[in-house]
Amino acid sequence: MSKPKRTGKPDDYVRGPWLPVAAPAAGRVRVGGGEDVSDLRLHALQAEVGEWVRHNFGDAPMLDQAAVVAEEAGELLHHVLKQKQGIRKEEDHVAGMRDAVADVVIACLAFGAIAGIDVEDAVRETWLEVSQRDWTQEDSCLEQPS
C-alpha cells in the first residue's frame, strides 16, 4: 500500500501522518519580548515553562497538568474532526491545529517540569526506540520474546 500523495492543501491535515513540514523562516526568530529563540532547545524551554507554571499556579499537582495535556489534545482533535466533517467552517481549522499542537507541547513541557521528567532527554531516548520500528513489516509492533 503506497502512501497518499500530499498536496499541502488543508484537507491533507486530516488524511494521515505523511504531512510536509514547512521549512523554518529564514533569519532569527523572536518572540514576545523580542528575545532570540532560534537556538532554543527543549531543556531551556522546559525550564522557562516550569518557571511560568510555578509563578502562575504554584505547586500544581501532576494530575491537574495531565488534565491540561488531555484538554489541549482534545482541542487538536476538535479541529481535525470538524475539518474532516466539513462543519464549523467559520473556524480556521489549520490555524487551530497549529495552535493546538504547540499547546500540547507546552502542556507536556509543563507536566515534565512538575513531574521531574527531562522532556528533551525522554523524547530523544524514545525516538531512538520508535525510529527503529518498521510499520510496513508485518508484526513489527509486536515485541519478540527473549
Confidence (pLDDT) at 41: 85
Please tell me the total count of domains within the chain. Answer: 1
Residue 93 lies in a domain: yes
Can you give the residue range of the structural domain that contains 88? 62-132
Residue with cell 509486536: 142
Confidence (pLDDT) at 20: 41
For CA atoms 2, 98, 56, 36, give the dihedral sign: positive
Confidence (pLDDT) at 19: 40
Residue 7 lies in a domain: no
Nearest to 111 by CA among 48, 66, 44, 54: 66
Residue 116 lies in a domain: yes
- Record the cell numbers describing residue 56, joined without a space: 502562575
Residue 101 lies in a domain: yes
Confidence (pLDDT) at 14: 39
CATH code at 124? 1.10.287
Residue 45 lies in a domain: no
What gap in Å lies between CA 105 and CA 122, rounded to an integer? 13
Cβ proximity of 120 and 46 under 8 Å? yes
Residue 31 lies in a domain: no
Confidence (pLDDT) at 10: 45
Residue 74 lies in a domain: yes
Mean per-residue pLDDT pooled into runs of 10, the chain (146 residues): 45 40 43 50 92 94 97 98 94 96 97 96 92 81 56
pTM score:
0.69
